[in-house]
Every structure is written in C-alpha cells, then in structure tokens.
Structure 1
Amino acid sequence: MIHALFSGVITFFIAVAVGSPIVNYLRRQKIGKEISEYLPEHQHKAGTPTFGGFIIWLPTFVVTAVAVDWWKHQSILLPLGMIGITMAAGFVDDLGTLQHRAQKGLSWRFKITFTALFAVAAAVVLYEYIEVESINIPYVGSYSLGLFYIPLAAGIIVATTSAVAVSDGMDGLAGGTTLIAFIAYGIVGFIQGQEFVATFAFIIAGSTLGFLWYNAHPARVIMGDTGALALGSSLAVIALMTGQWLLLPVIGIVFVAEMGSNLIQIGYFKLSGGKRVFKRAPFHHHLNLIGWAETQVVTRFWLVSIVAAMAGVALALEVPD
C-alpha cells in the first residue's frame, strides 16, 4: 500500500510540473474551446485551453512504466490500451470544439460505436485472459457469468465512458468525481491483494489531482474528451479487473445521475413533443439554472461522491469468500 500511495504522490508532482508548460503552450497557440450557444451562462469560459487531458495521461504512462511491474502483471496493459484508444478519439473530437475551426467534433453515434468496438475487445480479454468473469454480490457471494460476461462488460465500459464524458461540464466536476472513484477502487484492489491494480488506480488519482491544480475554478485549462473519455474507460476496466463492477453505480453515483438526467431529458422531449423534465441536462446545468453556483454544484457533487465511495468500499468488504 505504501508503494501505491507514494506512486500517486509522485505522479501528482509530475503532473503539476508538466501542467504549467502545457497550459502555457496551449495559450500561446490559442487553442481555446468554443462554448455552445445553448450555454449562455458559461460563455465567459470561451477560449479556455482544452486538451488538458494530456496533463493526466503523460504522467500516468511515465510513472506506470516505472512503478508497476507490468512485465509480471501484463493485464495492466489493458486499461493502458483503453486509455490510449479513447484518448485518441477524444483528441480528434476536441479538435472540432476549438474556436475558429471549420471542422466539427465527432458525433455521439460515432463515439459510442467506436468505444463499443474496443469495449468488446477489452471484454474478451477480461474473459479469456484475465479470467474475471464473475459477479460479486455483497452479502451473497460470487457467481460465474460465463459468456454473458462479455456483452455485459462491454456495456459497462461504454456506459461508464459516456457517463464520465457527460459529467465534464464544470470546473473540477469530472476530475474531482473520477479522482474519488479511482481512490475507492485503489482501496478495493489493495484489499484484494492486487497491489498492481491499486498502484495503477492511485497513479491515475495522483495525475488527476495534478490536473485539478490547473482546472480549479476558474479553470486555466479544460480536460476535454482527451481526458474524460479515457478517464471513463479506464475506470470501467479497473472496476471490472477487481470484479467489483456491480458497485460502480454506487461509487460512481454522480455519473449515474448525470447520464440518467440526459437520457430522461431526451426521452421525455421526444415523447412529449418538446417538453422537458429539467431546465437543462445534464443535471449539473439544471442545478446551476435553479440558483446553485458552479462551485456549490461541484463541491456538493464531490461530497456525494465521497459518501458513495465509502459506501461502495464497505459493500465490497461484504462479499463472502
């Protein structure tokens, strides 16, 4: 556990160190994000540099190569691979959200289809090679799912990736909530004796903390889908590697609320002929419009995430051997 914690600490300092030159470079190149016209209350953020996800992932790859015995635990290459794939897709999408650019970002259909293809591949690896094809139910026990595990695991990866990306809409929101979730799964991994999983989770937590140094309100940089898609996909894979994926909706309750509000809004809008349940979706925008300050929304979502993470870890301890 000491090794895992120190790995996270070191990654934090590296992320803070590389963050400043990255932000300064993005500013010099005028790589600013365009804010949707449907978010007038956030127009003051237009021009804030995006691609902040690189502050998370560059230190993560460097420290993982040194701190994790990946040649002994080759399964760690799976979440690393998913980070690389979804980060690349996020980078292309972020290019289309820049100010004064003619091209548009990737459509949500393409992003889901793209993620789903690689999610199926990841699920096959989890089933065939890592052999974590079970469901762990608190107070009940662990049960093998057989081949049904593959579509289920793929669906979890796609859903988590999308939900984290949807949550990325306020300074510190996606970063803070994923940080808490990674710490929770790091603790779960350590309890299980999977120290390499715990180390990797704390490495991502440390780099995300370093990113939050620059993303704290008012943000100097935005993670963009370069950060958010990869955070979501890697969180899902780590949850699946621990076998405690059933607790992901608990530990990631904010992501469930955010994605759920989006689906409810879209579904009700279509069924009702244009009516809305929320003033705006996802849920953090609704709260902002009914009077919550951005910092209040983010801080309270962090608090909910901390309580949910505590509950999730507690439930993980209640799975009988």
Structure 2
Amino acid sequence: MAGFEIGAAAGTAFLITGISGKWLIPFLRRVHFGQTILEDGPKWHKKKQGTPTMGGIMFILGITAAVAIFIPVYYYGANADKSLLEPLNMRTRVYGGLGMALAFGAIGFFDDYIKVVKKRNLGLTARQKLVLQFLAAGAYLAALYLSGAGSSTLIPFAGSINLGMLYWVLALLVIVGVVNAVNFTDGIDGLNASVTFFAALSFLVISGVLALNGLGVVAGALAGGCLGFLLWNFNPAKVFMGDTGSLFLGGMVCALGFGLNLPILLVPIGIVYLCEILSVVLQVSYFKATHGKRLFKMSPIHHHFEMCGWSEIKICLVFSLVTLAGGALALYSVLKGL
C-alpha cells in the first residue's frame, strides 16, 4: 500500500485548497465575480446573492498539484516495483483522467465567466456545453483506447464482460451523464463537496483492495481537496464552487470509476448524484405530461427537501451518509464479487 504517497497527496491537496481561499476569495470579491441566484429557486437563497463563485479553482489547484507531485513519486520512487504490477495503461488512466477533469473544469470556467460578465444565471447554451463535454469525454476514451484498453469491463458477481464497440458508446454517455449529475448536486452550501469527499474515500479504499494505488493517490487528492474546500464552503458558504468546480469534480469521479475499470460502481457510490439528475428528469417529464403539475416541490431533489423544512446542514449530513452507505455496498461487491 502506497500509504505515504496517498496521505501526502491528500494533505497537500487539503492545504493548498484551504490556504488558497485566503487570497482567492478576496480576489473574487474585488473583481465582483458573485453568484446570480435563480429567480425560480428557493426564495431564501436570495440572501446568497453576490457570494463569490468559481471557487472550484481552489481545489482544482490543490488536487492537480498533489497528483502532479505524488504520482511520479509513487511510480518512480520506493513503490516503483509494486507499480509495475498495475495494468500497463494505468498511467494513462491516471493522467488522462486528470486531464479529462481539467477539461471539464475549463468548460465550467467559461460557463461561469459568461454568467458573471453578463450578470445573469445563463452561461454557455445547453448545446454548447454538451458538445464540449462529449469532446472532453471522447478525448479521454480515445486515450484509453490508444493505450491498449479493451472493451471489457468488470461487473461484480458476473466477472469480465466484453461489450465490443458498444462499450465505448455507453462509456461516452455515462461520463457525460455522471458529470452533469454531479453538477446538479451543487445547489446548497457544502453539499457537493461533502458528497464527493465520501465518494473519493470509497474509491480510495477500493483502489487499495485492488492494489491500484496510483488511483489511490488520485482519490486521496480528491478527498483532501474537497475537505479543504469545505473550510470555506460549509454553511454559511463564503464561496461557491460554480460550474468550474462541479464539472471538474464530475470528471474526477468518472476518472476513478473508469480508471478502476469498474464504472458500474458509479451507481452505488454516486447514488446521490443519480438521484439528483433523475429528480430533474422526472420533474420535467411529469410537468409536461400533466400540463403543469409537479412531482416534487422543487428539483433537483435537495431543493425538495429544503422546501419540506430540512436545513442545508441536515441535507448535507443525510446525503453524505447515503453516499457512505453506497460506498460500503460498492466495497462489499468488490470483496465478494470479483
């Protein structure tokens, strides 16, 4: 187990993320990069108007620096011999996964920048975002394919299943879908960072069980970055991550799931993300089918619970525990089913 590299990556990401808030948040205030609150959101969110956004830059810096420093230490340092036991394309999965997350973060940055400059809660069009997201996911999958990754995926209790070219099509759809699901999870103070922290811990443990410790370093950095961001984002938030941060986190989560060659684990580990995006799909579909009736009081689902009287802290706690339970189920399936 590459305990030093994983712990050091987590600590480095935590410190850089936490410390960077000291200068980034005042900078965002000076340039008036404040969040515009949606008119159709919860009325009490209006008091958050003007809170600095694009704070995801903090953990993007922390996580990227931690991976850039400690992945080479793992692969070329004392654990070099152990790392040779990993699949030959694992380094492509690690670096390619980080590259994909950075590409998604760049898409989010442009989206946030347009929102801030135009002072409205509309950035890139839906079509523009989807095209760019498919390109980012496609580039990552192309890198995996060129590095020798096959079209087989591991399914707990079923073993390896070869889907042929269908695998790459499904993988493209899954990545874009999960990234947008993570984006929908960002809506109340601390929610996305806390849920993703526990998702990262789940991937960290599973990567250790499978002796894929390069990905363990990435998962440790992700967990540390999320925890560092919560110093500034926990209720009441001093900064929001914006699409810059949420799309980056979505890319990181996908990079870990596909890096392990266990994208199926994105279902239990990402159960909160999936519920968030499904609640939006169901709400819109039901609204159209019934000509104006609503299935939930508000979507995504975290706003429904807000409207039911739950505090933001309670929602973060419950959703985090659900993620933890999903991670435990994923770990059990790995231990018993592979």
Q: Secondary structure at the match of 1:126?
A: helix
Contact kept? 2:12, 2:62, Cα under 8 Å: no
In the alignment, the residues of structure 2 paired with residue 117 and residue 100 of structure 1 have an alpha-carbon distance, to the nearest angstrom, of: 26
Deviates more, 1:162-171 or 1:200-209: 200-209
Pairing partner for 1:234 from 252, 255, 266: 252
- 1:135-284 matched pairs, under 5 angstroms: 135-284=153-302
In the alignment, the residues of structure 1 paired with residue 197 and residue 252 of structure 2 have an alpha-carbon distance, to the nearest angstrom, of: 12
Give how far 1:179 is off: 1.3
AA partner of residue 31 (structure 2): Q
Shift in CA distance, 9/176, structure 1 to aligned 2, threshold 3 Å: same
User: What is the match of residue 84 of structure 2?
Assistant: none
Shift in CA distance, 230/137, structure 1 to aligned 2, threshold 3 Å: same
Pairing partner for 1:15 from 14, 17, 35: 17
In the alignment, the residues of structure 2 paired with residue 250 and residue 6 of structure 1 have an alpha-carbon distance, to the nearest angstrom, of: 28
AA partner of residue 108 (structure 2): G
CA RMSD of aligned residues (A): 1.8
Shift in CA distance, 240/303, structure 1 to aligned 2, threshold 3 Å: same
Pairing partner for 1:120 from 138, 141, 156: 138
Contact kept? 1:19, 1:210, Cα under 8 Å: no
| Percent identity between the two aligned chains | 32
Tell whether 2:46 aligns with 1:43.
Answer: yes
Give how far 1:108 is off: 2.4
Q: Secondary structure at the match of 1:318?
A: helix
Contact kept? 1:132, 1:243, Cα under 8 Å: no
- Gaps (5+ residues) in structure 1? none
Give how far 1:206 is off: 0.6
In the alignment, the residues of structure 1 paired with residue 96 and residue 118 of structure 2 have an alpha-carbon distance, to the nearest angstrom, of: 37
Q: Secondary structure at the match of 2:115?
A: coil
Give a deviation string over 1:264-286, Cα, whole Å, max 9, x none: 00111111112110111100001
Shift in CA distance, 233/219, structure 1 to aligned 2, threshold 3 Å: same
Report the number of matched residues: 320
Give how far 1:110 is off: 2.0
Tell whether 2:312 aligns with 1:289.
Answer: no
Shift in CA distance, 160/29, structure 1 to aligned 2, threshold 3 Å: same
AA partner of residue 15 (structure 2): F
Give a deviation string over 1:76-125, Cα, whole Å, max 9, x none: 22112112211111011112333863794112232122211221232232
In the alignment, the residues of structure 1 paired with residue 228 and residue 186 of structure 2 have an alpha-carbon distance, to the nearest angstrom, of: 17
Q: Secondary structure at the match of 2:116?
A: coil
Q: Secondary structure at the match of 1:279?
A: coil
User: What is the match of residue 70 of structure 2?
Assistant: 67
Give how far 1:229 is off: 0.5
User: What is the match of residue 87 of structure 1?
Assistant: 105
- Gaps (5+ residues) in structure 2? 77-90
Deviates more, 1:202-211 or 1:74-83: 74-83
Q: Secondary structure at the match of 1:135?
A: strand
In the alignment, the residues of structure 2 paired with residue 118 and residue 9 of structure 1 have an alpha-carbon distance, to the nearest angstrom, of: 29
Give a deviation string over 1:165-199, Cα, whole Å, max 9, x none: 00100011111111111121122222222111110
Give how far 1:144 is off: 2.1
TM-score, with length taken from structure 2: 0.90
Give how far 1:132 is off: 5.2
User: What is the match of residue 7 of structure 2?
Assistant: 5
Contact kept? 1:122, 1:154, Cα under 8 Å: no
Contact kept? 1:47, 1:99, Cα under 8 Å: no
Deviates more, 1:99-108 or 1:34-43: 99-108
- Structure 1 residue runs of 4+, over 3 Å off? none
Give how far 1:156 is off: 1.3
In the alignment, the residues of structure 2 paired with residue 285 and residue 102 of structure 1 have an alpha-carbon distance, to the nearest angstrom, of: 21
Pairing partner for 1:28 from 27, 30, 33: 30
Give a deviation string over 1:24-51, Cα, whole Å, max 9, x none: 2112222110101112221010110001
Give how far 1:130 is off: 5.0
Pairing partner for 2:324 from 286, 306, 321: 306
In the alignment, the residues of structure 1 paired with residue 185 and residue 122 of structure 2 have an alpha-carbon distance, to the nearest angstrom, of: 21
In the alignment, the residues of structure 1 paired with residue 278 and residue 113 of structure 2 have an alpha-carbon distance, to the nearest angstrom, of: 27
Deviates more, 1:92-101 or 1:236-245: 92-101
Shift in CA distance, 64/283, structure 1 to aligned 2, threshold 3 Å: same
